[in-house]
Structure 1
Amino acid sequence: MLSCAKCGRYTCREGKPGNLPQDCPMQSYGDVYEEAGQAYQGTDGRLAYLAAKIEATGYGIWPRLREIMEFSNMAGFTRLGLAFCVGLRREALEVTRILENNGFTVLSVICKTGAKAKEELGIRDEEKVRPGRFEAMCNPIAQAKLLNVEKPDLNILLGLCVGHDTLFIKHSHAPITVLAAKDRVTGHNPLAAIYASHYFSGKLQADK
């Protein structure tokens, strides 16, 4: 079982494999690390190299959007897909403006594209956010497939719902990065619930 989150040593980050916990995956998954190492010999290795350079250069200095632009420039990415939620349409417009002002071609697709009713998914009226009204379903598969046709170099996710982001990632052909994860309660800052876990304790118990 993989349980790195419970490790109290984190000797991997110090390069001290001789002091590994007994249940560390580095003790028993040598073949996996060998396979991963081979993968870095190709295009993925180039991206990993650029990511490390971005980390060193912009650490604590650049906001994430700047990091995405710098990474894209270094990788030679000029066509950027933007899959966004209708609830963040203003933010999507501003992101598009910034990216275009920095020389990128932006291909943006809203979550409600297709204008299909939630009933097509089997959602009953009482299960809607606002019963008694038409609600368009989010359509992450169409978002991904539309962008697949346009062939962006990189797709950027902006505020897709949990589950919808899962489907987009599953169907996207281009590599993906996340600009913002949706969290309506915390202003799209999911870790706020962790940093203030005492206050949010009642909201962090999943229904069983």
Structure 2
Amino acid sequence: MDFKDLYTAEDIAIMKNAEDSLNRNNDRIQEIIEYAKKSNIKTIGIAYCTSLNKQASKLKNILEFEGFTIEHVNCKLGKLPFSNLIPDYKGITCNPAGQAKYLEERDTELNIMMGLCLGHDMIFNAKSKAPVTPLIVKDRKLKHHSIEKLNDSNS
């Protein structure tokens, strides 16, 4: 199998711009900014969990300061009753497909995912028309620092 055949011209452009954006002195947010600038991206989406409202707002401000148009949407978009999807479940469910659709309708060119629950992140990634990069993965026990489990010599 020729693995090169697995990649479209768009895939290769993403990989090239990402490689050109790498800098050991930059944090992940700065790398995303550099990538978006090299890719001529103007509109960035942020899909986030409501538990990260404060952090999503701060990220929005940082990216807007850098000159990007930001569209952001929390996971409770539409206040979808859980019972509409799964009978006998109560409460308001997260809406990752709705988040992806919301950002698609606003023509985002890159989406940043922040703290979506396991499964919800998979649905958001699958439904997003724009490329998705994670910034924060949800880990309730380790306060979003999953790598700590792998670094712990007692595990």
The range that moved more, 42-51 or 166-175, is 42-51
Is residue 47 of structure 2 the alignment partner of residue 47 of structure 1?
no
Displacement of 1:119 in angstroms is 2.1
Q: Distance in 1 between matches of 2:17 and 2:112?
A: 17
**Equivalence for 2:117:** 161
Among residues 7, 28, 32, which one is paired with 1:68 in the alignment? 32
Q: Distance in 2 between matches of 1:68 and 1:101?
A: 14
Is residue 87 of structure 2 the alignment partner of residue 141 of structure 1?
no
Listed as ranges, the gaps of 5+ residues in structure 2 are none
Listed as ranges, the gaps of 5+ residues in structure 1 are 1-29, 126-133, 202-208
Aligned AA (2:12): G
**Equivalence for 1:84:** 48
Q: Distance in 1 between matches of 2:74 and 2:32?
A: 20
Displacement of 1:158 in angstroms is 0.6
Aligned AA (1:35): D
Q: Do the aligned partners of 2:17 and 2:35 also contact (CA within 8 Å) in 1?
A: yes
Displacement of 1:120 in angstroms is 2.2
Is residue 106 of structure 2 the alignment partner of residue 150 of structure 1?
yes
Q: Distance in 1 between matches of 2:19 and 2:116?
A: 27
- Report the number of matched residues: 155
Among residues 111, 129, 133, which one is paired with 1:173 in the alignment? 129
What secondary structure does 2:108 align onto? coil
What secondary structure does 2:133 align onto? strand
Q: How big is the alpha-carbon RMSD for the aligned residues of Structure 1 and Structure 2?
A: 1.6
Q: Distance in 1 between matches of 2:53 and 2:40?
A: 27
- 1:38-91 Cα shifts (integer Å, max 9, x gaps): x35x22222211111222xx12x1110110001000100010010000010110
Q: Do the aligned partners of 2:21 and 2:38 also contact (CA within 8 Å) in 1?
A: no
User: More relative contact order in 1 or in 2 (CA 8 Å, sep 6+)?
Assistant: 2
Displacement of 1:146 in angstroms is 0.9
Displacement of 1:197 in angstroms is 5.5
What secondary structure does 2:113 align onto? strand
Q: Distance in 1 between matches of 2:122 and 2:153?
A: 25
**Equivalence for 1:195:** 151
After TM superposition, which residue ranges in structure 1, 4 or more long, deviate above 3 angstroms? none
Larger radius of gyration: 1
TM-score calculated relative to the size of structure 2: 0.93
Is residue 75 of structure 2 the alignment partner of residue 111 of structure 1?
yes
Among residues 62, 87, 93, which one is paired with 1:98 in the alignment? 62
Q: Distance in 2 between matches of 1:123 and 1:183?
A: 27
Q: Distance in 2 between matches of 1:159 and 1:197?
A: 26
